Every structure is written in structure tokens, then in C-alpha cells.
């Protein structure tokens, strides 16, 4: 079996599984906010995890706010920024390649709260063009309430110039948010060095428990809570904390740090795989292959056979891939990310996304190549579009 869907969700890491197995044998379950000794032990586990997260990601423990994951973090940060905007600020600038959570949230702010949403431009490699942001900022001036542009795209794995975009916004005193969901735990990231005021993370993207995550907030005193509760997370996020999930976040980030030296090998094996496929199928196209991408992500289009057909054929051999993003996989059209890159339907429909974990490499890519070639050759004899 090859699970090549790490951008959709990563399986639990071995160190996380070991921790959970051991933990299930203890009686250490309770409310981490209680003052009895069980509560205190759970709270101490959470605080140690907060320190590890802060150490691994280059921030202060007070800047780490645990929550249920990226969708919640993004909703909270957009809410906090937009609720506190100045009266004349009604413009939100974003990109056409954001994960669904951003356009869906912005659709709410547009239709219910009267904001106007403006789009930056994307180049053929799937990168935001910084000059198009500068143009929009010059056009709308101090009416801009927020710029929200992701750090790494979930479909192509392409890095956006988010540090530069943050700098552009800072120089004009405009609020900037960058969705870091696909960055944290997949490539090195340091909050302090990044120039960002916020970051978000979902545990299941890095091999920790689903339903756990955090926000990093440069100045938590400026953050309005989205989830009200008691004194949890110093009032920044109410609700009894997912203490098991929180501990797995710290464990997963520690394991990721150990796998860092493997990333160049993973990327090298990926390039070999991509070249092999392109040599076998000259009509194949790897999206974003000219620019910096996540080491284990390939979005590849082989025109002629629908991506979903290839996905199903691969699955019959126990190989799991996606056709675009896991959450929009059931839509048989060219994804909006590819459309924004100027990709037409003849190429866009034949796309699959292969995303591996940071500890994998040559062996997985060799099997993927063998099976992908076999699947394409088999299907092209039966049906093509
Ligand atoms: C870029 C990006 N942002 C946000 C999310 C939302 O993450 P979650 O569903 O874990 O809240 C995802 C998940 O695929 C993502 O890839």
C-alpha cells in the first residue's frame, strides 16, 4: 500500500502512535483546567507542548494558542482583523488559489457585511505576482482592511512569496494574513523570521491527531476570540482543550525536526519520478515544476485520461492519491487553482496530486511510477477524452 495523500491528511507518525498507545494504558484522563492532581498533570503536559511548539517554530509560548485546527484558526484571525478594522476600510484582497475556507469566509463578509473582495494575479507557475498586490494597494489605499494570501498551495505545493507580501503590506500598514496550513510540518518554518503576524496549523497535516491545531499570534492582546468560553488559552479560545491532541502536536513537530535532513533526498527522488513520467508521456505536465514547491508534492496532468479514472485504477492496486485537494476531489472539473494558472480543460481534467511524507522517498516513487504508467496504458486502451 502507498498512501500518497499527505496534503489531504497525514497518517499518525510512529512517535505519535507510541505516545497514544502508552497513554491509553494510564488513568491520565480528565479536565486539564481542574486543580486536582490529574488536571495539573494534564495542564503541565499541555504547557510543555506549548513550549516545544514555540521552540520548534521560533516564537514565544504565549504566542501559541491551541484550537481545533486551521479552519478554526483562519476563521478566528479573519474575524478578529475584520471586526477591528477602521470604519472606512471595506476592501479585502485575496488570491484565486486559496483553500476553500478563505473564499467561503470572504463570501460571508462580502454578502452579509458589505465588503468588496479583490483578487491578485497568479503567474503560469501558480505563484502570486507581488506587483499585482502593489497595484491593488495603490488603487484602494487606506480602504484595505485585510490582505489574505496563502503561504503554500495545497494542490501544487508551490510556495508563495509570503514574506515579501507581508513586507509590502507592513510598509503600508495593512493587515496581512497568510494561510500556513501546508507549510508547518512539511517544510522548515520560523514564525519570527517569516515577517508574519499570524500562522495556523492543523495537526492532521503533520501526523498528529485530527481535531488538534494552533494559531501563532504575534500580539495575542490584539486577538478577538471566536470561541467564547472560560479562562482556557488565557481567554483567547474557549472550550476545554484537546489535551491529547495538543501533546501529539509537539511530538509530531519533534519528529518532523528529525526528518528534516531527509527533505533534499525526498525532493531529489520526486524530480527523478517526475522526469521519468514526462519522458514516458511527453504530453504530461507537472504544475509549478519551475519554482519552489513542497519537497513531496507533485500535481501532474496527463491529458487524455480523467484524473478520477486514474485515481480509481491506482486505488485498485492499493495506491491512494487525490485529483486536486481532498475536500474538492469529488468535482470532476479543472480545479480553480489550475484555472487561475491558465490551464485549460484538456489538461486540467487529467490531473492527479501525489503528496508524500517527509520520511519517504525513492522506494515509494519507484512504485508510484510503475503503477501510474500501467494505469495510464491500461485506461488509454479503454477510454480517453
Ligand atoms: C491550505 C489549507 N488551508 C486550510 C485547510 C483547512 O484545514 P482543516 O480542514 O484541517 O481545518 C487546508 C486543508 O486541506 C489546507 O490545505
**107-122: pLDDT as tens digits:** 999 999 999 999 999 9
pLDDT single digits (tens) 198-256: 999 999 999 999 999 999 999 999 999 999 999 999 999 999 999 999 999 999 999 99
Q: Which of 150, 153, 154 to mutate to test the pocket of ligand 1 (most atoms within 8 A of CB)?
A: 154
| 152 closest CA partner among 328, 253, 297, 329 | 297
**String of b and e for 6-16 (b: at least 16 CB within 10 Å)?**
bbbbbebbebb
96 grid coordinates: 484565486
- Total number of residues shown for the chain: 385
Other Cβ atoms less than 10 A from the Cβ of 350: the count is 26
Q: 70 C-alpha vs ligand 1 centroid, how far in Å?
A: 6
Distance CA(273)–CA(382), nearest Å, equals: 25
Q: E strands, the chain, where?
A: 2-3, 64-67, 91-94, 116-119, 144-148, 176-177, 198-202, 213-217, 285-286, 297-301, 319-320, 351-355
pTM: 0.97
Tell me the CA–centroid distance for residue 207 and ligand 1, in Å: 14
From the alpha carbon of 69, which atom of ligand 1 is closest? 11
- From 158, 163, 141, 151, select the one nearest 93 (Cα to Cα): 141
CA of 130 to the centre of ligand 1 (A): 23
How many whole angstroms from 229 Cα to the centroid of ligand 1? 24
Mean pLDDT of 63-83: 98
Amino acid at each position: 500500500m502507498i498512501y500518497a495523500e499527505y496534503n489531504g491528511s497525514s497518517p499518525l507518525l510512529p512517535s505519535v502512535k507510541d505516545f497514544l498507545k502508552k497513554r491509553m494504558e494510564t488513568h491520565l484522563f480528565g479536565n486539564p483546567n481542574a486543580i486536582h492532581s490529574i488536571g495539573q498533570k494534564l495542564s503541565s503536559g499541555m504547557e510543555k507542548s506549548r513550549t516545544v511548539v514555540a521552540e520548534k517554530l521560533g516564537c514565544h509560548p504565549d504566542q501559541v494558542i491551541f484550537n481545533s485546527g486551521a479552519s478554526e484558526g483562519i476563521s478566528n484571525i479573519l474575524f478578529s482583523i475584520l471586526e477591528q478594522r477602521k470604519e472606512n476600510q471595506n476592501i479585502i484582497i485575496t488570491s484565486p488559489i486559496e483553500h476553500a475556507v478563505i473564499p467561503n469566509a470572504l463570501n460571508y463578509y462580502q454578502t452579509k457585511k458589505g465588503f468588496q473582495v479583490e483578487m491578485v494575479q497568479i503567474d503560469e507557475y501558480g505563484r502570486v505576482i507581488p506587483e499585482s498586490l502593489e497595484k491593488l494597494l495603490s488603487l484602494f489605499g487606506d480602504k484595505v482592511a485585510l490582505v489574505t494570501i496563502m503561504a503554500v498551495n495545497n494542490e501544487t505545493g508551490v510556495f508563495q512569496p509570503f514574506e515579501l507580501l507581508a513586507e509590502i503590506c507592513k510598509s503600508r500598514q495593512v493587515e496581512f494574513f497568510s494561510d500556513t496550513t501546508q507549510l508547518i510540518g512539511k517544510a522548515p518554518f520560523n514564525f519570527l523570521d517569516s515577517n508574519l503576524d499570524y500562522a495556523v496549523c492543523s495537526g492532521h497535516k503533520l501526523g498528529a491527531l485530527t481535531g488538534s491545531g494552533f494559531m501563532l499570534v504575534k500580539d495575542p492582546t490584539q486577538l478577538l476570540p471566536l470561541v467564547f468560553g472560560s479562562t482556557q488559552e488565557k481567554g483567547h479560545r474557549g472550550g476545554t482543550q484537546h489535551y491529547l491532541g495538543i501533546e501529539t502536536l509537539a511530538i509530531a513537530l519533534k519528529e518532523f525536526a528529525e526528518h528534516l535532513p531527509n527533505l533534499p533526498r525526498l525532493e531529489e527522488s520526486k524530480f527523478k519520478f517526475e522526469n521519468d513520467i514526462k519522458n514516458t508521456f511527453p504530453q504530461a505536465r507537472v504544475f509549478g515544476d519551475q519554482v519552489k514547491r513542497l519537497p513531496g508534492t507533485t500535481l501532474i496532468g496527463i491529458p487524455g485520461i480523467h484524473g478520477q479514472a486514474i485515481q480509481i485504477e491506482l486505488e485498485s492496486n492499493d495506491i491512494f492519491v487525490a485529483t486536486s485537494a481532498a475536500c474538492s476531489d469529488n468535482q470532476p472539473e479543472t480545479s480553480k487553482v489550475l484555472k487561475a494558472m491558465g490551464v485549460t480543460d484538456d489538461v486540467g481534467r487529467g490531473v492527479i496530486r501525489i503528496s508524500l511524507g517527509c520520511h519517504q522517498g525513492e522506494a515509494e516513487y519507484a512504485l508510484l511510477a510503475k503503477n501510474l504508467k500501467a494505469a495510464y496504458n491500461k485506461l488509454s486502451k479503454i477510454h480517453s477524452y
